[in-house]
A and B are shown apart, each in its own frame.
Chain A
Amino acid sequence: AQKVTQAQTEISVVEKEDVTLDCVYETRDTTYYLFWYKQPPSGELVFLIRRNSFDEQNEISGRYSWNFQKSTSSFNFTITASQVVDSAVYFCALNTPSGGYNKLIFGAGTRLAVHP
């Protein structure tokens, strides 16, 4: 069975703090893809990153970084020096061949509130 768990329902930080959003996934497939999406208060889903299961290199994009660890089935997302504009719900998602590569399996999301 495929599953994505985002155990942190809500996180509240003060601007400039670093924050890590956890994502743990389950799949028996050896090939799979992981994604992060951001849903700001305006409601749209914004694609942030895609990573395949064979690429365990960590990724950094500006203040955003992602730590992929197959050994713990985790794909965590860190925002460095958070800003008020980072306030949003963040979703981790999984795509696998068992799902036909059609279906994104989403976690429940983590709501991040960044206060000035």
Chain B
Amino acid sequence: DARVTQTPRDKVTEMGQEVTMRCQPILGHNTVFWYRQTMMQGLELLAYFRNRAPLDDSGMPKDRFSAEMPDATLATLKIQPSEPRDSAVYFCASGTGTGEADTQYFGPGTRLTVL
């Protein structure tokens, strides 16, 4: 049963620290999405990759957030420096990239708490 994996599952850090979240998409999937879930804003798309190339990161605060895909099996989302308002659950999702609209399969999420 292929699944998206994310590490760490939980992260508590102090304001100003760097945070790196990792995602392993389903093998063979060529699209990767990063979402953030908060009580106030719900689920928001932060960034989207196709074939490892970033195609849309308009939802991401550019000054402190960065997303990369060093290779086809790893996507990273980095926050530097972190702030309390970044506290949220961050989800990674992957899709096959075929057809018009991918079905996005989500990982278990990383719950980030910034003190």
A31 at the interface (CB under 8 A from B): yes
Q: Which residues of A contact B105 (CB under 8 A)?
A: 47
Contact status A44-B109, CB under 8 Å: yes
- Total number of B residues with any Cβ neighbor in A under 8 Å: 22
Which secondary structure dominates where chain B touches chain A?
strand
Question: Do residues A43 and B103 form an inter-chain contact, with CB atoms below 8 A?
Answer: no
| Chain B contacts for A108, CB-based, 8 A | 42
A64-97, CB < 8 A from B: 91, 95, 97
Q: Which residues on the A side are within 8 Å of B104 (C-beta)?
A: 47, 104
- Chain B residues near A47 (CB-CB < 8 A): 103-106
- A27: shortest Cβ distance to chain B, in Å? 12
Contact in complex: A35, B42 (CB < 8 Å):
no
B42 close to A109 (CB less than 8 A): yes
Chain A residues packing against B (C-beta within 8 Å): 31, 33, 35, 37, 42-47, 50, 52, 91, 95, 97, 100-104, 106-109
Binding site for A on B (CB under 8 A): 33, 35, 42-43, 45, 48, 55-56, 89, 91, 93, 100-109, 111
A-B contact list, 25 entries, CB within 8 Å: A31-B100, A33-B101, A37-B106, A43-B89, A43-B109, A43-B111, A44-B106, A44-B108, A44-B109, A45-B91, A45-B109, A46-B106, A47-B104, A50-B101, A91-B43, A100-B56, A101-B101, A102-B48, A103-B45, A103-B56, A104-B35, A104-B45, A104-B104, A106-B42, A106-B43
